[in-house]
Each structure stands twice: as C-alpha cells, then as structure tokens.
Chains A and B, each alone.
Chain A
Amino acid sequence: MRTYEIFLKRDGQEEYRHAGSIDAPDDELALLLARENYLRRAEGDLLWMVDRQHLLIGDRDFVAPNSDKPHRDNDGLLVAAHRKSQRESR
C-alpha cells in the first residue's frame, strides 16, 4: 500500500490546493479512489496526485530564516502617518 497526496483545482481562478491523502496499492486505483473520495460534488475540475514518498519537504527550520526579513515588506504606515500629521497641522 502506498500513500498519495491529492491536490485539486477549481477553474482557472485558483491554484492547486491540497485536499487530503489516500492509500492505494497502485497509481491507477489511487486516481480512482481520489476521484470517488475527493471529487464527489465537483469540488474541483482538475486533479494532481503525488506519491508521498516523492514529496520533497522543507520543514519549519528550513523555512524559518525568511520569516524574519522585514526589509522585504513595506506596510505604508510611515507615509500614512506623515501625511496625516501634515493634514492635521494645516
């Protein structure tokens, strides 16, 4: 038995999204089971499936360094505060 991860996409507006996983003995049956379990009421119109053992995973420690890079962002608050103080001093 192998475990597969299932991704569904609904029309062109969305990216593929993870829907869940399924156990199956081979690819053919996995596809069939995925359709019967995850696409019961047109939850998507395209399906991607990947054997879990082929997933490459970047874990939290690997991803973490990029959550501390505030210079990549700009919330516009500094400019907004300045313009507000300008308006009020008029």
Chain B
Amino acid sequence: MGRTWSSMDDFEAFLNDGGMVEVDDDMPDEYRTAVFRFIELHANSELMGGLTERDWIPMTPGLRHKMAVLAKSQDEIGHGHLLYMVAADLGVKTRREMLEDLFAGRSRFHNVFHYKVRTWGDQVAICLLVDGAAVPSQKAVYKDCSYGPYKRILKRILAEEGFHLRLGEERVLRIAEGTDAQRAMFQQSIDDWWWPALRLFGPDSKPNDRLARWRLKSEKNEVMRAGWVQKFVPMLHSYGFTIPDPGLTHDAQTDTWTCGPIDWEPLKRTMAMDGPDTARRIAEASAAWETTRWVRDALDAAPAGAVA
C-alpha cells in the first residue's frame, strides 16, 4: 500500500518537494539504512543517558530535585523506548537485536555518554550543557525531518527535553547560590564537561551531506555549535563562572562569543568506543540487561492475551 519510486533521483525529487516518507513506503535501501542508523544512535544515547541518570537518583540532593530526577530518568528511558519502536519498524534490526548490540559494545552512542560522572556538579553541568546541546540538535532534525514516524516522535521528545533543560537552568541557579565549595565543584564540572558537550555537535558539516539532502538534518553543525556557545558563555559568566577555552573571543560590536580551536581527537576516541568511561558504562548497562532477564522471560512465557 506504500509508495514506490523508480530511482534515487525520483526519490530525491520527492524529498526535495517536501515529501514525507512513511514506514510502509518502498524507500531506497540507502535511505532506510541511513534513517535507521540515525535513530538507533539516538535511541542508544537516550538509554545510556537514562541509565546514568538513574544512578544519580539516590545521590540527588533535596526531595524536590530527587523527584525531578526520577521523572527525568523515566523520560530518558521512555525516549529510548519510543525511538527503538520507530527504528524497529524500519525492519533492519529488531528492538532486541539493537539492545543486544548496544550491550555487547557493537553499536554506537553519543560521545558525552563515554565520560565518567563524578560529582553532583557534573550532573548539573550535563543537565545544562549536554541537554542544552541535545535540544537544538533534535530541533534541527524535527524542523524538516523527511521521515514521518521519527518527526512525530521527536515532537513529544522535544517537549520533555525542554523540561530537562529548564531543570538544568534551575540546578545551575541553586549551585551558583551555594557555598564556595559547591561553586568550586561546579567550576570543575564546567571545566570537565564544556568540551565534550561542545563536541556533541560534531565537526563542521560537509557541503554535500546526504543526511542534509535527505532532510534528516536541517542545520549545519557549526551553526548549532555557535548558537550553543553564544547562549552558555554569557549565562555562566553571569553567575561568575569561567569557560575553559583560552581561545574564546568576544566581538564587542555584535556581542558575539566564538570558541577557540577544537580538538577532535577525543570525539574520534569515543566513536571508536574507547572513551574514558566507555567500558564501565557498557558493562553496567549489560549487567542491568542481565538482571532484568527474568522480566523478559516471564513476558515471553505468558500466553497471548493473558490478563496481566
């Protein structure tokens, strides 16, 4: 019942016209695979992020923030869930295969989830800087996304990521008003997380990026990165914190902040699954997958249509 295209040119003309692809369309294999990989990477990242968030539930200070972090963990795992469903429907891998690949270290997740979270300050920095990078990246995908099921799920995910970002801004306010020791802890976290969060956008976009041509991306990496720098430098300065970038420059005329040269080596290492905390993170996720095996077994064993 889906649509078919006679050639890649025909398909690209359809995309160029603003066409939306649906799951039952006979899309070209290259497009199907590219969309699948993109969503799988997003799903894996939500899940890996959610698992770290979960680790911090007992250590989050104050009942109000503890409850918020409970909700945030549920949201992140939920996003993983939604995305795995959308990805599985593309028919490249089943949801179980995607999870098993992730826990065996065979598939990728975003660079920021390859680092160790040491302190509450790190959690605050992540909630601000990482979520603050994820939101514009996802918005740029959502804006003109050619794959309908992904676009519709992103709408819901973005609404929840907005809550997280505002939560991050509130955490920063609290920690900025804290003791000298708390402020020093947070400054250390900014120093540790500034660059990994900035590298989340990736290197400058290539001129003929096929993901841009196929409308999976609607903004260049360097433009989003510049927007992020422009937003967070003044915000952190206003609280009296410093930015760990000796090459950071300010154009007084346009009031524009520009970051210095970026070292891409750490990004390459995380993409090669060789980040500072990669092995431990995967081992922990894999252990969680094992300890919940009994739930999957019980679900598989239940007769169809049985009342829960």
Contacts and interface: CB of A to CB of B under 8 A. Distances in A.
Interface residues on B, range: 20 to 34
B5 interface: no
A84 to B, nearest CB: 12
Contact of A15 (B20, B152, B167, B238): B152
Contacts of A78: 170, 173
Interface of B: 20-22, 64, 67-68, 70-71, 75, 146-148, 151-152, 163-164, 166-167, 169-170, 173, 238
A2 B283 CA distance: 53
Given A12-B22, A15-B152, A46-B22, A74 B166 contact: yes
Contacts of B67: 71
Q: Main secondary structure on chain A at its contact with chain B?
A: loop
A11 B20 contact: yes
A74 B20 contact: no
User: Counting chain B CB atoms within 10 Å of each CB, which of A71, A76, A78, A86 scores highest?
Assistant: A71
Interface in A34-54: 46
Contact of B166 (A13, A14, A75): A75
A30 B166 CA distance: 47
A15 B153 CA distance: 9
A74 B154 CA distance: 19
B20 A12 contact: yes
25 contacts: A12-B20, A12-B21, A12-B22, A12-B151, A13-B20, A13-B148, A13-B151, A14-B152, A46-B22, A69-B71, A71-B67, A71-B71, A72-B68, A72-B163, A73-B163, A74-B68, A74-B163, A74-B164, A76-B169, A76-B170, A78-B173, A79-B166, A79-B170, A82-B173, A86-B238
Interface of A: 11-15, 46, 69, 71-76, 78-79, 82, 86
Contacts of B21: 12
Contacts of A71: 64, 67-68, 70-71
B167 A74 contact: yes
A71 B62 CA distance: 12
Contact of A79 (B148, B152, B169): B169
Nearest to B68: A71
Contacts of A76: 166, 169-170
B299 to A, nearest CB: 18
Nearest to B151: A12
A89 to B, nearest CB: 13
Given A12-B148, A13-B151, A72 B173 contact: no
User: Counting chain B CB atoms within 10 Å of each CB, which of A74, A79, A86 scores highest?
Assistant: A74
Contacts of A82: 173
